[in-house]
Amino acid sequence: MNDPNLGYPMQLLEPGVTYASATEEVASIPLRRIRSGWWWLAFGASFFLLSVLMAAISWLFYRGVGVWGINIPVGWGFAIINFVWWIGIGHAGTLISAILLLLAQPWRNSINRLAEAMTIFAVLCAAMFPLLHLGRPWVFYFLLPYPDTMGLWPQFRSPLVWDAFAVATYFTVSLLYWYTGLVPDLATLRDREKSPWMRRFYGMVALGWRGSAAHWERHQTAYRLLAGLATPLVLSVHSVVSLDFAVGMLPGWHSTIFPPYFVAGAIYSGFAMVLTLLLPLRSIFKLHSLITPRHLNNMACVMFVSGLMVGYGYLMETLMQLTSNDPFEYAAATDRLWGHWAPIFWAVLACNVFIPQVLWSRRVRTNEWMLFAVSIVINLGMWLERLMIVVCSLARDFISSSWGTYWPTAWDWATFIGSGGLFLTLFMLFIRLAPAIAISDVRELIAQKKHPAS
Amino acid sequence: MNSELYGLMVEFSTPQALIAGAKAARAHGYTRMDAFAPFPVEGLSHALGQGRSWLPLVFLLGGIAGGGGGYFMQWYAAVISYPLNVGGRPLHSWPSFIPVTFELTILIAALSGVLALFLSMKLPKPHHPLFNVPEFERATDDRFFLCLESADPLFALESARQFLEELCPLRIVEVPQ
């Protein structure tokens, strides 16, 4: 039944969804291993890519960072591009889960768990890259304040140290938030699982949750407080990442617009990745009664609005460079607009600003295939944006005699593509072992629908 | 009295019946009881007469400890332990200590809050007498339970059963210890 004003069904749940049917729909994915053909196919492909990553990392550890295309002047290359890209993707989960929880947006309830899991896996992929890029990854703990026999400390005035703290905190808090929310749903699996070994496994991870009213009360208090803590945290993480660039003096980096512009970009790419994962999952596991066109439309709208903010960021950044009266900033802008870097710049604009304009159309926002295609384009565009930011400024700084160029090697590509394998392998394991949709949150929606609050 | 009995449990099909049952049991004078639901039911904890949780205070104290400790650590490193003269700039350069202070505030608040949450719920506790009841499996699916514990001073099997029957539950079960 379509809503006359909206043109798509208004409800968050299809009619006829009951407590038991929602439990069955979500729990059957891990419990009865439904559609395992699809799952094994996807898992096999992901695991193959993970093996590529392992090979690339082994070779890197054996030979050193020289196997990558990095050199002076472009010392950052793929490792930092991928770091910023993955950590940006890792922002949507907390945004969907925490900010929409605090804003009392019930549509988050069918998609939050999936988005949180995506966040954790994306942050893991992201955190790997700076460590690999260290050159001597075995001394990564130099980043942390620890009792050092030489009496040394990390340089707390450096954004790179802030970054280590921000990413580590973000990962830890996201994990706590995800697990705290997951415990009641793991108990649901424990009580439905037939195989004694898996029952024991779920019994252990569910910690003996029994749904006591006193427990729910505390659980909800803690969950909301964690959401309150995660909300400023998620905004701080990409701001700190952007300061890695903005505190540097290079033309194209040294700009106060970077923190908000990075945060908008993070939300943009994060929502694009949520859609990229959610749409196939919804079709394969037939989750249409819990993830309705309204969810797709809402996600597309948030993605689109953050995309417009990113577009505004591009506009302002370029305008400020052109009017700054600084010849180096001016040169950086013209290099992008019609100079050496024009192909990258216009590709970024096409992917992130021009093509997503199709989202003005409601038909596109509720059409699975179109939305999937747009989300892929945005993922690509955001990766290119990170490439543009990292490479263009490093390769062409103040003195033309120190200019250089950058070409990735096969090992760069293998590490990048392999990190996708790590991400997807973890994701596939997650949907096979844990409930991909927060069942207890969906039950709350059902209860509200049955007995609207008086 | 009934040392082999943990309590007497009733099953309902709606959260409203559970809240009504909890209120009635409390009005009847029972104090040792708990209710079980597959999702957080608004007002249930209040109906059972459970007090407010002190968890927010733990979060606050954790945040203060994390932020204060984090700032102190950076000040100590930069001013006392390893002063480094960077072009004559002040050692106590507080604006650049803010990001790490902020992150540690959040980190320690979240860690101490979640630790306090699980400690206060006395979880992990893989086994509980309630799990002896096969019907209790549906407490994580679509049913709502109220359990009067035998430790309650008012608890006597016959009178408790009589009282619970008045609530018109789906069933009444004895929960073995």
Q: In this predicted model, what pLDDT tens digit does every residue of A24-54 receive, in sequence order? A: 888 888 887 777 888 899 999 999 999 999 9
Pick from A103-107, A383-387, A389-393, B83-87: least confident: A103-107
Residue A3 in domain = no
Of A159, A213, A440, the CB nearest to B48: A213
pLDDT at B155 over 90: no
Q: Is A212 on the interface with B (CB under 8 A)?
A: yes
- From chain A, the residues in CB contact with B94 under 8 A are none
pTM: 0.92
Q: How confident is the model at residue A15 (pLDDT cuts 50, 70, 90)?
A: confident
Q: How confident is the model at residue B47 (pLDDT cuts 50, 70, 90)?
A: confident
Output the furthest CA–CA distance in chain A (Å, rounded).
Answer: 74
Please judge whether A219 and B100 are an interchain contact, meaning their C-beta atoms are less than 8 angstroms apart.
no
pLDDT at B111 over 50: yes
Nearest-CA distance from A246 to chain B in Å?
14
State residue A3's pLDDT score: 62
- From chain A, the residues in CB contact with B137 under 8 A are 191-192
The three-state DSSP-derived secondary structure of chain B is CCCCEEEEEEEECCHHHHHHHHHHHHHCCCCCEEEECCCCCCCHHHHCCCCCCCHHHHHHHHHHHHHHHHHHHHHHHHHHHCCCCCCCCCCCCHHHHHHHHHHHHHHHHHHHHHHHHHHHCCCCCCCCHHHHCHHHHHHHCCCEEEEEECCCCCCCHHHHHHHHHCCCCCEEEEEEC
Looking at per-residue confidence, does B104 or B129 come out higher?
B104
Residue A12 in domain = no
Residues A105-116, mean pLDDT to the nearest whole number: 86
Distance CA B23, CA B11 (A): 15
Q: Are A153 and A162 in contact (CB under 8 A)?
A: no
Placement of tokens 């049991």 in the chain: B25
Nearest-CA distance from A155 to chain B in Å?
8
Residue A4 in domain = no
CATH, residue A43:
1.20.1630.10
State residue A454's pLDDT score: 38
pLDDT at A415 over 90: yes
The DSSP-derived string for A172-207 is HHHHHHHHHHHHHHHHHHHHH--SHHHHHHHHHHTT
State residue A447's pLDDT score: 84
Percentage, residues of chain A above pLDDT 90: 62
Chains A, B: CB contacts under 8 A, how many?
188
Residues B115-144, mean pLDDT to the nearest whole number: 88
Q: Which of B10-21 are b and which e, b meaning 16 or more Cβ less than 10 Å from the residue's Cβ?
A: bbbeebebbbbb
Sign of CA dihedral A224, B118, A29, B41: negative
Residue A2 CB neighbour total at 10 angstroms? 10
B149 - beta bridge partners? B7
Sign of CA dihedral A54, A56, A57, A62: positive
Fold of the CATH domain B5-52+128-176: Alpha-Beta Plaits (3.30.70)
State residue B154's pLDDT score: 80
- From chain B, the residues in CB contact with A171 under 8 A are none
Domain boundaries, chain B: 5-52+128-176, 55-120
Residue A88, CA atoms < 13 Å, CB-side half-sphere: 31
State residue A10's pLDDT score: 64
Q: How confident is the model at residue A7 (pLDDT cuts 50, 70, 90)?
A: low
Residue count (chain A): 454
pLDDT at A4 over 60: no
Nearest-CA distance from B98 to chain A in Å?
9
Q: Could you tell me the residue range of the domain that residue A157 belongs to?
A: 19-450
Nearest-CA distance from A451 to chain B in Å?
9
Cα radius of gyration (chain B): 25
Please judge whether A208 and B93 are an interchain contact, meaning their C-beta atoms are less than 8 angstroms apart.
no
State residue A350's pLDDT score: 96
Please judge whether A443 and B39 are an interchain contact, meaning their C-beta atoms are less than 8 angstroms apart.
yes
Residue B166 CB neighbour total at 10 angstroms? 10
Instruction: State how beta strands B144-149 and B33-36 pair.
Output: antiparallel
State residue B3's pLDDT score: 63
Residue A29 in domain = yes
Residue A13 in domain = no
ipTM of the complex: 0.92
Nearest-CA distance from B69 to chain A in Å?
13
pLDDT at B4 over 70: yes
Q: How confident is the model at residue A9 (pLDDT cuts 50, 70, 90)?
A: low
- From chain A, the residues in CB contact with B108 under 8 A are none
pLDDT digits (tens, 9 = 90+) for A116-160: 999 999 999 999 999 999 988 898 898 889 988 888 999 999 999
Q: Is A203 on the interface with B (CB under 8 A)?
A: yes
For the sheet with B171-176, list strands across it: B33-36, B144-149, B5-12, B171-176
Placement of tokens 């505004």 in the chain: A312
Placement of tokens 């617009």 in the chain: A257
H helices of A64-146, where?
A: 77-89, 92-94, 100-102, 112-133
Nearest C-alpha in A relative to B135: A191
| Backbone φ and ψ of B33, nearest 5° | -155, 165
Give chain B's mean pLDDT: 88
Distance CA A411, CA A60 (A): 8
Which DSSP letter does residue A212 get?
Answer: B
State residue B165's pLDDT score: 82
Of B53, B114, B137, the CB nearest to A191: B137
Give chain A's mean pLDDT: 90
Domain count, chain A: 1
Residues A421-449, mean pLDDT to the nearest whole number: 89
The angle, 0 to 180 degrees and rounded to 10, between the axes of the packed helices A342-349 and A368-387 is: 150
State residue B52's pLDDT score: 79
Residue A93, CA atoms < 13 Å, CB-side half-sphere: 27
Q: Are B32 and B5 in contact (CB under 8 A)?
A: no
Residues B17-21, mean pLDDT to the nearest whole number: 90
pLDDT at A8 over 70: no
Q: How confident is the model at residue B167 (pLDDT cuts 50, 70, 90)?
A: confident
pLDDT digits (tens, 9 = 90+) for A357-401: 999 998 999 899 999 999 999 999 999 999 999 999 999 989 989
Residues 6+ apart with CB under 8 A from B161: B8, B172
Q: How confident is the model at residue A104 (pLDDT cuts 50, 70, 90)?
A: confident
pLDDT at B1 over 60: no
Q: How confident is the model at residue A6 (pLDDT cuts 50, 70, 90)?
A: low
Distance CA A265, CA A235 (A): 11
Residue B156 CB neighbour total at 10 angstroms? 14
